[in-house]
């Protein structure tokens, strides 16, 4: 009697169950990667830095205003979001050395050599009543302008797009095309009564 | 002389299903590990704006979330004039406690990280796209005052 074999377990059903669990997790899981537009806030005001006012030449500033009706004006001209990228790109690049666009300073940069770095600063002012969506769109367009310029510079000096570069080259390109956004304190022209 | 003999008596061997379930289990564990259960239940409506230039954040453990949006339940705390709530951890905060609560939140989030990671801690602003900037500006001011300077405007990827 000891020779009797134990009957083989049918494990097909087990794989069925684990398939069920697998599909459950497949459907319910959202691989929600944290993504967004990263920004750095300026360091908090200290008493000794209170009265320091940096004199910036008018030509070096691109005034971007977003009002409570989500309308955008750039240096006084009302434009649409779609045109902001082109404006910002022209402002940062200044390909023709136009005297009304920001000046450039030659700086030695590792891996690139001498590069005319723009001194342009985007001054972004929003209204308290601006919608967050429009604010993100504006930030996005500015980022897009800088990213395209960085891609162009990267292609020119390293033959690859910015994302494909190693970190040292990326740092060099970032130095060549800095992104300077300064956020002015928000205005409040919307007549909501609060604030 | 037939080289291929057909012996009809031979049965097809039974397939061993055991290893298949092993593989399925491996998949299962993989998915269980990579899925993140949301640690705090959302108390506010949050629909992120979409943008083209979004970047992925490096490390999930180095992200602290601040939700701003219209409250889902009626009895949540709101900021004046009463349409928007700010959620830290798992509760909405009162308008009069805003400063203290945000400071405590930043403090505890920084405390719970290693010393070398504290500067890399990112505060992700998960703001509903319909919210007015005044609330975001208030929170940004508090973040700045408390030296939490690395922020992120959460946005979905726009597909062109």
Q: What is the mean pLDDT of residues A135-160?
A: 91
The whole-number pLDDT of residue A140 equals 92
* Percentage of chain A modeled with pLDDT above 70: 87
Q: Is residue A193 situated within a structural domain? A: no
> What is the SS3 assignment for B108?
helix
Q: Is residue A48 situated within a structural domain? A: no
SS (H, E, C) B63-105: EEEEEEECECCCCCCCECCCCEEEEECCEECCHHHHHHHHHHH
The whole-number pLDDT of residue B147 equals 86
Asked if pLDDT for residue A191 goes beyond 60, the answer is no
The answer to whether the Cβ–Cβ distance between B129 and A133 falls below 8 Å is: yes
pLDDT in tens, B131-141: 888 888 888 88
Contact of B120 with chain A, judged by CB distance below 8 Å, is answered with no
pLDDT in tens, B77-101: 777 777 888 888 778 888 888 888 8
Query: How far A150 CA lies from chain B's nearest CA (Å)?
Result: 13
The answer to whether the Cβ–Cβ distance between A135 and B136 falls below 8 Å is: yes
Q: Tell the residue number behind the tokens 């504006």, with chain if given.
A: A138
Which residue range is the domain that position A81 belongs to? Answer: 56-183
Instruction: Collect all residues with Cβ–Cβ distance below 8 Å to B57 and sequence separation of at least 6.
Output: A33, A34, A35, A36, A38, B63, B122, B124, B152
Asked if pLDDT for residue A89 goes beyond 80, the answer is yes
Could you tell me how many CB contacts below 8 A there are between chain A and chain B?
157
pLDDT in tens, B9-36: 677 777 776 787 788 888 888 877 777 6
Q: Which of A89, A28, A67 is nearest to A187 (CA)?
A: A67
CA diameter of chain A: 103
Contacts of A28 in chain B (CB under 8 A): 35
Q: Is residue A189 situated within a structural domain? A: no
The whole-number pLDDT of residue A193 equals 40
Contacts of A139 in chain B (CB under 8 A): 51, 153
Specify the pTM: 0.77
The whole-number pLDDT of residue A192 equals 47
Task: From residue A179, give the alpha-carbon distance in Å to each of A70, A87, A118.
Answer: 23, 15, 10
A81: tokens are 């979001």
pLDDT in tens, A121-144: 888 888 888 899 999 999 999 999
Residue B56 β-bridge partners: A35
A138: tokens are 């504006």
The answer to whether the Cβ–Cβ distance between A147 and B154 falls below 8 Å is: no
Q: What is the mean pLDDT of residues A152-172?
A: 88
Contact of B141 with chain A, judged by CB distance below 8 Å, is answered with no
CA distance A69 to A29: 38
> What is the SS3 assignment for B125?
strand
The whole-number pLDDT of residue A195 equals 37
Contacts of B152 in chain A (CB under 8 A): 34, 36-39
User: Under a CB-based contact definition with an 8 Å cutoff, are residues A34 and B124 in contact?
Assistant: yes
Q: For A131, which residue in chain B has the nearest alpha carbon?
A: B132
Q: Is residue A191 situated within a structural domain? A: no
Q: Is residue A151 situated within a structural domain? A: yes
A137: tokens are 């769109």
Local confidence band at A1 (pLDDT 50, 70, 90 cut-offs): low
Neighbour-count burial of A186, counting CB atoms closer than 10 A to its CB (0-12 exposed, 13-18 middle, 19+ buried): buried
Contacts of A38 in chain B (CB under 8 A): 55, 57, 122, 150-152
A165: tokens are 């570069």
Q: Tell the residue number behind the tokens 């990827």, with chain if given.
A: B157
Contact of B154 with chain A, judged by CB distance below 8 Å, is answered with yes
Residue spans of the domains in chain B: they are 50-157
The whole-number pLDDT of residue B160 equals 64
Structural domain total, chain A = 1
The packing angle between helices B133-145 and B98-111, to 10°, is 50
Query: How far B126 CA lies from chain A's nearest CA (Å)?
Result: 9
pLDDT in tens, A33-71: 678 888 888 888 776 555 555 667 778 888 898 888 888
């Amino acid at each position: 009697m000891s020779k009797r074999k134990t009957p083989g377990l049918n494990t097909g059903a087990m794989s069925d169950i684990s398939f069920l669990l697998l599909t459950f997790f497949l459907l319910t899981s959202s691989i929600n990667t944290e993504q967004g537009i990263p920004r750095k806030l300026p360091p908090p005001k200290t008493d000794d830095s209170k009265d320091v006012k940096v004199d910036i030449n008018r030509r070096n500033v691109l005034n971007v205003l977003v009002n409570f009706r989500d309308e955008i004006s750039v240096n006084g001209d009302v434009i649409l979001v779609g045109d902001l990228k082109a404006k910002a790109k022209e402002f940062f690049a200044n390909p023709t050395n136009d005297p009304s666009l920001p000046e450039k300073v030659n700086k030695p940069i590792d891996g690139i050599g001498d590069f005319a770095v723009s001194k342009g600063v985007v001054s972004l002012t929003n209204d308290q009543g601006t919608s967050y969506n429009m604010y993100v769109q504006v930030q996005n367009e500015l980022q897009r302008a800088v990213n395209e310029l960085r891609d162009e510079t990267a292609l020119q000096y390293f033959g690859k797009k910015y994302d494909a570069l190693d970190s040292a080259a990326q740092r060099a390109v970032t130095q060549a095309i800095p992104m300077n956004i300064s956020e002015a304190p928000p205005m409040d022209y919307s007549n909501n009564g609060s604030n | 002389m037939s080289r291929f003999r057909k012996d009809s008596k031979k049965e097809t061997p039974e397939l061993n299903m055991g290893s298949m379930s092993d593989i399925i289990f491996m998949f299962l564990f993989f998915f269980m590990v990579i899925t993140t259960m949301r640690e705090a239940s959302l108390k506010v409506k949050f629909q992120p704006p979409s943008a083209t230039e979004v970047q992925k954040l490096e490390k999930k453990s180095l992200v602290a979330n601040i939700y701003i949006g219209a409250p889902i339940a009626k009895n949540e705390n709101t900021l004046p004039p009463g349409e928007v709530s700010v959620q830290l951890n798992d509760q909405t905060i009162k308008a009069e406690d805003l400063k203290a609560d945000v400071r405590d939140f930043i403090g505890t989030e920084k405390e719970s990280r290693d010393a070398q990671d504290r500067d890399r801690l990112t505060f992700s602003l998960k703001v509903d796209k319909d919210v007015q900037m005044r609330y975001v500006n208030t929170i940004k001011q508090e973040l700045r005052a408390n030296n939490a300077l690395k922020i992120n405007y959460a946005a979905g990827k726009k597909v062109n």
